[in-house]
Amino acid sequence: MWKNIVKFRLFLILPILVFYCLVLFRNLDEDKCRSLQLRDDTDSTDHIVMFVLITGVNPATQELTAQVALRPQGALAQDEVTPAVDLNF
């Protein structure tokens, strides 16, 4: 009797566990499928690195919300986040 119950539980739980693991494994690199990286390398040491993170899209009103981070490099930077010169965007 107990052996039948144990076998039934294994027969029920094992496929669920395998399915769960397959779903997790399939979605490990899901963020790479939804991300876009554009890169334009330059030889200049004085440049600004720009990071844009899209935080919201509303197709009904055709609005896009984004966070923009600018990181000055080289002579343009006073420190890691403060520019040494006035910047025009």
The predicted-structure confidence for 43-86, as pLDDT tens digits, reads as follows 888 888 888 888 899 999 999 999 998 889 888 888 887 888 88
Mean per-residue pLDDT of the chain: 84
> Dihedral sign, CA of 77, 83, 87, 89?
positive
Share of the chain above pLDDT 70, in %: 98
> 18 and 40: one domain?
no
> 84 and 54: one domain?
yes
Q: What pTM did the predictor assign?
A: 0.53
Give the domain range for residue 25: 1-33
> 26 and 46: one domain?
no
What are 48's strand-pairing partners?
Answer: 72
Please say if the pLDDT value at position 34 is more than 80: no
> 41 and 76: one domain?
yes
Please say if the pLDDT value at position 42 is more than 80: no
Tokens 């494994």 map to which residue?
Answer: 25
> 42 and 75: one domain?
yes
Domain count, the chain: 2
Instruction: Show the tokens assigned to 60.
Output: 């009904």
